[in-house]
Structure 1
Amino acid sequence: MYYKPIIYIVPPEDEGMLLKTVLHNRLGMSRKLLSRLKLTEKGITLNGERCYTTVKVKAGDRIEARMEEEESEDILPQDLPLSILYEDEQLLIVNKEAGMIVHPTHGHYVGTVANAVVHYWRERGETFRFRPVHRLDQETSGVLAIAKNPYAHQQISEQMSAHTVTKEYAAVVHGVIAADSGTLTGPIDRDPEQPHVRIVTPDGYPAVTHYEVMARYPAHTLVKLRLETGRTHQIRVHMKHLGHPLVGDKMYGLPPEESPPFPRQALHAMRLGFDHPLTKQRLTVEAPLPADLEELLKLVSGGE
């Protein structure tokens, strides 16, 4: 069985191009994906017929690329709450709850976003491999994008590498940030004494975080953060380095007795934007602040 084909009608300006050139330059297909499609019986067709990718195309030719259906056989379907923000034939974008791990790992085989998504697809009679295009920490809530096929995953991954994906977060941090906005550029790497912890160090990997104050409170700040790079724990590390660690951050934050009672790091992925893998139009998806962060804001503002 195959997914719905990706279709391209050759325009006059592409006449005479090699088929593989059209697939690569116009549809952005990687060489790896093209090789995979060529090994599939109906992977690539020209006007309904299989052909070599070295054939020259003509204006009006109909190119179809088909990917075989896949299934996440190693993921147990589980009926869990799933908040869907956007879905089409290429993508599923959900609002991840805080506390949920994205993908099953050793010791966490159930209760993940993957378990919930696979169950959702099974109930609809659909078979896709679970392919998140990015990750969120277990305690971070918000927008999470999942590709439904290798092409969609490749297209968004390339945008990630080119830093053209917009990733914006909301965080509640300790202290009142004086500047209305700024950019943090401290390189990040593992702490040699605690390999699971990241630190800002001159020998680290480049990392860029832009911040903008959204609201100030007596002893805290609600800040919007936009990532240019995607280092592990980047926001948490950069905000600690700035002197404003996240509320509730057990690894990089203040001791519990110095922090408002909050069971997780106060971080929410509120906006994700990228070019749609098929239409190439800009797609921006937002997730509102969750109830627990709204309650935290009331608490730090002095409200009931």
Structure 2
Amino acid sequence: MDKEDLLKKWLNDELTPAEKRVFEQDGDFTFHQTIVDSAKQFKASNFSKPETFKDLESVYQVKKSKTILLDWFKPLLKIASVVVITLGIYFAFFNTNIIVEKTLVGQHTTIELPDHSKVTLNADSEIEYSQVNWSDNRRLNLDGEAYFKVAKGRIFDVVTKQGVVTVVGTEFNVNQRDDYFEVQCYEGVVKVTSGDVSKTLLAGDTYRLLNKEFSQDKVSELSPQWTQNISTFKAIPFKDVIAELQRQYDVKISVEHLDSERLFTGGFMHENIENAIISITQPMGLSYKTNASNDIIIYGDKK
């Protein structure tokens, strides 16, 4: 027996006990019962009219069409709910307020961290850190060179591609460029870990990793010279000196007849490109020229 016949018999109270059980198990039974309960509030004369069932049936059909529409819409509501919940979880757990600070070629800048620690970025450098629970997790990523003045507090980690620098309230400089990694401690104590090598630096100590070879040195200055617009080098491959000059002046430099692995000790100012080129070429007996495109070519001995 179809649903319509069951409904008619139910309205006329003609269902057998078995049919009644089937009808009450139908998903629309509650809806039908609600309509009948509402209809009981009408005057008795209305129920005596022959067209009563037809009227009720028409109301039922209208209501049911709305119910079908809602049934079709429910899956969309569920999908929307899932999307909203997913986005909520994402922003609650994964949106960690990542902050990225970077400098352009020829630019220096100083950033104050949430705990009032200060980071001065050298040219073409970048740091990245999360503001969430910073006081409990003082950790940032560095690509390039930066001078740190760390406020006292929990452990402070500087993570680079070549090693991790760990400190508590101190001043230090970290320089990480390709195959070059150097840490200079100016105040306090610094722990440096790179691969299997772990060293503790005191004020004045320098840790250096050049072409995967470790060495230690001393620094006499009270802060890194580049913060005073002077780049200095001690036994550094000439190619790294050129790379730093390009970062400070936004110029293109090429070499000819020159061993770029030759070690250089000296420095240059960040104020005048001409004087800077002279500062790195004259001590090594090199020459240079500027072409039509304002690119600089440094020449070695043609022997």
TM-score tier (shorter): under 0.3
Relative contact order: is structure 1 or structure 2 higher (C-alpha 8 Å, sep ≥ 6)? 1
With normalisation by structure 2, the TM-score equals 0.25
Question: Which protein is richer in strand relative to its size?
Answer: 2
